[in-house]
Chain A
Amino acid sequence: MRVLSFLAAISSLIASAYAAEPADPRIALDSAFPDAKSGKPFAGELILVEHVTRRGILRLDRDGTINKYFWDLPHHFQMLPYAAINLHGAPASFEDLPIGTHLHGVFYLGPEGDFQIKPPDTGYDASKMANPDLRSIVTQYSRVLTLDDDFSYYQKRGEGWKITAFGPDKSNVTVERVALADGSAVKDANDGNKSVQVLHLDRGTRIWKGREIAALEDLEVGQIVQLNFTWAMLYASMKEDGLCRDIWIDAASRETAIEQQRQIYIAQQKRLGFPGIILKTEPIPGQGASGHITVALPAGIDAELMDAIKPKTGLDLWPVEPNLRHWGSYGSGGVEEVTRIENPPAGHSGVQIKLRFYEMLEGFRAGRTVRMMIRVPNVKGRPSEDYPRELSLYPNDTRIFHVGPAPVAGREKEPEEPKK
């Protein structure tokens, strides 16, 4: 970051200022960054999305983590406000994720938040389920810190897949997990993911080569590729691990995909703003409603956006719920200071900015989430579904389904695995 001033001397102080430590390190609060080591990684297929409230459901992989009697139990999750999403090797918004995408996530326990939304009574809620109390050992890990599609997950690790064999008529492909740098096999990744997979190919599989769509014929044994599993992991035969929907067979195609997604993300973040977590606020005595706000930028924000934040630039802060829904109003501030801390906690980019506001709003409080918006022209307005409203007072509410288990008093112990 060219514009960041490095203040290592105070970084540990600043970092500790907001380290509101929950009793259980596995808990992730909306108001504080969690312990990096306590998150649990799971992977699964995205089967339902409510992007407005940043909630969704995964069908977790049948990878041995969960007893087979709990296979395919819908895993409800809520994105943490500072959660980072990557698609095609680049930062992405929640709404960018297509249904059916196979995702790798890091999950935390989720206590009832300060601003938890009461689910609407749709007549199709938990009480109508056949077995509403059924919970697996991981059900309560419902708060998401990161979500990566396969491309992003392996690309970040410097890994890819080497084609080792094809099935009859190229109906499937066998791939081996390798290092991108030298093509050497990755045997002991120890992340719960396989090192060899057999993936089904069909006529819908998109094969990306350079900046073009290629054909099955372009696939060759020995190629090192990136690929995404998709919606049909249960579709393939028992010998196959799933359906491959996209394959990027060369570096040029991967760079094209990354850059394209990156630009989508940048445009979207400029339009709707990116989240920030308020670390502290300070009223300025004798200056009316003025005050200072220090905000932490979450990890996963594109460098181009970060670069735009520098001293003496203006920034609009929208008070939002932890799911990033706003109230249609914002405060305009000026950036006074940009600092970077060392060894930021999980979810924290390490960048903190101090802003001065002419008018402090109720939503500007330590631990609260804001959307930060660089002022851009040609924005007509904000999506109306972004406005949180009480259902009983505003029947045009857009929430459509009940996410998550029914509220319980306190947090239950993790259920033990049922005996076989």
Chain B
Amino acid sequence: MKNTLRLSYDCFNPISNLISVMLTTRLLLPIFTLSWVIAGNAADVLEPYFKEHCLRCHGEKKQKGDLRLDTMVRDFTGGSETERWFEVITRIGSGEMPPEDEPQPTAEASGQVIDWLSARIKEGESARMAKRAPVAHYRLSREEYSFTISDFLGVQYDTRAPGAFSEDPGWQGFERLGSELSLAPSHVEKYLKAAAEIIDLAFPDKKPFQVKSHVDALYMDWQNAGKRKELDAIGITPKIRTLFWPGHILSNVRPDGGYRQAAGRYRGRIQLSGLTHAGGRTPHVTLYSKELDRMIFEADVLAPEDKPAVLEFEVFLPAGRWDVAISNAVPGPSNLGHAGRPGGAVLTTLKDPKSREPWQRKMTDDEGKPLYPLLIVDWIDWEGPLESPEDLQKREGLFPEDNADSNAVLACLTRFAEGAWRRPVTPEEVRPYIGIVEREQAAKTPLRAAYKTALLGVLASKNFTYLTEGSPGEKRMLLNDWELASRLSYFLWSSAPDEKLRAAAAGGALRTSEVLRAEVVRMLADAKTARFAEAFPRQWLQLKRVGEFPPDEKLYPDYEAWLEHSMVLETTSYFAEMFRQNLPLREFIDSNWTMLNPRMALHYGITAPDSADFQRVVLSPEQHRGGLLTQASILSLSSDGTRHRPVHRGIWVSQAILGKTPPPPPPNVSAIQPNPVNEPKATIRQKLAAHKANPNCTACHAKIDPLGLAFDHYDAIGRWRTEEVVPTGKGNNPPVDASGTLSDGRHFADSAEFKKLLAAKPEPFAHAFVSKLAVYGLRRAVTLDDEAAIKAIVEKCKSSDYALRDVIEAFVLSDLFRKR
């Protein structure tokens, strides 16, 4: 093995450290050589080296890995070219290039090239920074828009509702990058519409009709609802419950009783029992609105028949009449036949044989135990629109009285603008909006309506929808206090700064480490940090891709919506637990625990926790789980609808865990063909081996594939297996081989060993993790120029074993976070 072990990890480090890295290796160079090399020119240093060692494969005739060095621009002031040159340094420095089977350069020659390139990259840094625009704009994602409005006005506005905001484009999973979140004319229309609705909800012209409805079991059961009089007469109505077997849907549980309801936040309470059958699924209640195309509430339910549970939820519902259907959304036999229909019998208890019609599908065995996961619902209560005292308090002082004078109007509008725009506003900035009020009033519009028009302008302003960093005409490198406050609050809360943070910014000392640390500590303790704990892992780990290729129903009949949702929840719950407990980052890679609900426990073949919620479950090695990498969400997002995809899994590991994005495949690469019917069954791994025999593919696949093949023991939906199911071909299904070798030469037999190898040296992962935090927090891709700062954060956290909260805190307190 080459003496490159250290280098292979340090290939992620900033250029400024490369020299020190090389000093620990065979690439030791005399100091005088170094100074000469740094000062030399390309013709003297670069070209002879390239000609002798590189251009056979990366020159005019061949461009392996889509790289041609002889024509690559020798310019280090642009971002993309410089990144490519940095990649060249990394490959040479790690000893990866030239390949082992090629004539090897001396260490001195390679060192000269590296030093020369490093010096040019460093020289280009200031030029690259100078190219950045003086002002950067970062549009709020639709999720941030919702949270901002909620925290500002106490109004829940669902930006994901049909017809509301468009889906935000992402980059490597991140949905908050300024460069990606552009603004189209259609956005403007939607912003205006949203702003008008939000203002009406916050400051309604008349008090909305309050819904307080009670939907009882008999009302839900439309088939028997008409018998209420007879059932009342025999006195059993209060005992009536409604049974939901798998896939049974009843659509009679809307909150409004059939009337148009006001928009707003509604609270639902539902009393129900959830009975599971031995070793089977936990019943799963869903409340779904077809018109809204939205799951209003869903949960696994575990509660005995005689001890029903009461579940409570809150949901924003727009104005209108929305049907809501309740169902037990677990798979079961088809309900299409006669036996799957509701009957004329009303249920009081499963123990009463008269509670079910004899022609209906049998729900309990002869001993009375459920044959399926069953829900028994008693009632659903609805209440809304809700307005808490906190919500009303948020709106205080933002809307003038009907007879207010112009000063009062100005004061209200200024307060509103400052809240919306997350900074102090000048009278000049407010003046146009006051002008709107005055013009409207001159046209005999009442003050209330005129003022609302002005508010519409404030909320539709770019000052609200964009986070702005920098000042026109000024090359400012550091954020000011208000910019920093917004960056911090959107990082941790996905929302605008609260009063305390604003006060800190107004005090002008937020940029000091003491004040900033105090704020971070305070903010991390706030419940709103749950937004970070949900959004960051979702974006970092690209969880949006879960279910992107819905698995084939025939191959994976157990796969369904709740499993898919539970997969994502396992991962976000895992992150939240890491965050709560401030656990070291290596537990993202490998651990002896995970977070499971009954559905995921069933999927993994692990004894389900007692509760229907996600619970921390201690794992044993034979359960083959622990850490993120063997979670079903990760394993399925990198698969397609029919099979696992080791290469994609490798790319995902490379991107999300190692922070390296492999180059895209060359065009016209032939896909892996299905196994021929008349040939022995072959695993994807065996087919990939044949694929890699092509020298054009070997270079990349050798690095990517082991990262994915390590997880070959998991199928396309993340279930453990020991043999790979090959649908066509002769003979038995072949056994899984998940062994491999890392680029540094360390060998592993399976995913467990692979995880242990990664966890044993957490620095590269910590580096990648901080880079991901930076992308999320800074709302831009990190560049070569951020490397030094990232390295510094990683170094700083080493002493705390890279505990998650400490890493987050160190990131916020770093220079990187405070810089533009």
Using a CB–CB distance below 8 Å, which chain A residues touch chain B? Answer: 114-115, 280-281, 283, 288-289, 291, 319-320, 327-331, 359-366, 368, 392-393
Contact = CB atoms under 8 A, between A and B. Distances in A.
Interface stretch (B350-358, B498-506, B533-541, B596-604): B350-358
Contacts of B361: 289, 359-362
Interface in B317-367: 332-333, 337-339, 344, 353-354, 356-363, 365-366
B359 A359 contact: no
Given A359-B333, A393-B227, 12 more contacts: A114-B353, A115-B353, A281-B362, A283-B365, A288-B332, A289-B332, A328-B359, A331-B339, A359-B337, A362-B356, A362-B358, A362-B363
Chain A CB within 10 Å, residue with most, of B332, B339, B344, B362: B362
Contact of A319 (B333, B358, B365): B358
B357 A327 contact: yes
Contact of B339 (A281, A329, A393): A329
B230 A362 contact: no
15 contacts: A114-B353, A115-B353, A281-B362, A281-B365, A289-B332, A289-B371, A327-B357, A328-B359, A361-B358, A361-B359, A361-B360, A362-B362, A363-B358, A363-B359, A368-B358
Given A114-B353, A288-B333, A393-B230, A362 B360 contact: yes
Nearest to A290: B333
Contacts of B337: 359
Contacts of A283: 362, 365, 371
B333 A289 contact: yes
Contacts of A393: 227, 230, 344
Nearest to B234: A392
A331 to B, nearest CB: 7
A363 B358 CA distance: 4
Nearest to B361: A289
A382 B365 CA distance: 29
B258 to A, nearest CB: 25
Contacts of B353: 114-115, 362, 365
A361 B227 contact: no
A288 B227 CA distance: 32
Interface residues of B, number: 21
Contacts of B338: 329
Interface string B210-231: 0000000000000000010010
A363 B230 CA distance: 25
A358 B446 CA distance: 71
Chain B CB within 10 Å, residue with most, of A288, A289, A330, A363: A289
A289 B338 CA distance: 13
Contacts of B366: 280-281, 365-366
Nearest to A329: B359
Contacts of B371: 283, 289, 360
A201 B339 CA distance: 56
B624 to A, nearest CB: 23
Contact of A361 (B230, B339, B354, B365): B339
A327 B365 contact: no
A319 B359 contact: yes
A365 B371 CA distance: 13
Contacts of B332: 288-289
Nearest to B369: A283
Contacts of A365: 353, 362, 366
A275 to B, nearest CB: 14
Interface string B407-438: 00000000000000000000000000000000
A360 B363 CA distance: 9
Nearest to B345: A362
B359 A327 contact: yes
Given A329-B338, A329-B339, A393-B230, A360 B362 contact: yes
B517 to A, nearest CB: 57
B374 to A, nearest CB: 13
A319 B358 CA distance: 6
A294 to B, nearest CB: 11
Contacts of A331: 339
B327 to A, nearest CB: 18
B634 to A, nearest CB: 28
A362 B354 CA distance: 10
B79 to A, nearest CB: 57
Contacts of B358: 319-320, 327, 361-363, 368
Chain A CB within 10 Å, residue with most, of B230, B337, B339, B354: B339
A115 B356 CA distance: 13
A291 B362 contact: yes
A312 B362 CA distance: 24
A365 B361 CA distance: 12
A50 B564 CA distance: 59
A368 to B, nearest CB: 8
Nearest to B356: A362
Nearest to A364: B362
A345 B344 CA distance: 37
Contacts of A366: 366
A93 to B, nearest CB: 22
Nearest to B227: A393
A362 B357 contact: yes
A329 B360 CA distance: 9
Contacts of B333: 288-289, 359
Chain A CB within 10 Å, residue with most, of B339, B356, B358, B365: B358
B644 to A, nearest CB: 24
Contacts of B360: 361-362
Contacts of B362: 281, 283, 289, 291, 360-362, 364-365
Contacts of B230: 392-393
Nearest to B334: A288
Chain B CB within 10 Å, residue with most, of A291, A359, A392: A359
A26 B333 CA distance: 43
B20 to A, nearest CB: 62
B96 to A, nearest CB: 51
Contacts of A319: 358-359
Contacts of A368: 358
Contacts of B354: 115
Contacts of A115: 353-354
Nearest to B354: A115
Nearest to A368: B358
A283 B277 CA distance: 12
Contacts of A328: 359
A253 B480 CA distance: 118
Chain B CB within 10 Å, residue with most, of A114, A331, A364: A331
Contacts of B227: 393
Nearest to B337: A359
User: Which 7 residue pairs spanning A and B have beta carbons closest together?
Assistant: A363-B358, A329-B359, A319-B358, A360-B362, A289-B333, A288-B333, A362-B356
Contacts of B365: 281, 283
Contacts of A363: 358-359
Interface in B730-783: none
B663 to A, nearest CB: 46
A178 B535 CA distance: 98
Nearest to B230: A392
B336 to A, nearest CB: 11
Nearest to A369: B358
A361 B360 CA distance: 5
A328 B344 CA distance: 13
Contacts of B339: 289, 329, 331, 359, 361
A331 B338 CA distance: 10
Contacts of A291: 362
A222 B399 CA distance: 119
A357 to B, nearest CB: 9
Nearest to A327: B359
A143 B230 CA distance: 32
A283 to B, nearest CB: 6
Contacts of A364: 362
A115 B345 CA distance: 14
A331 B360 CA distance: 10
Nearest to A291: B362
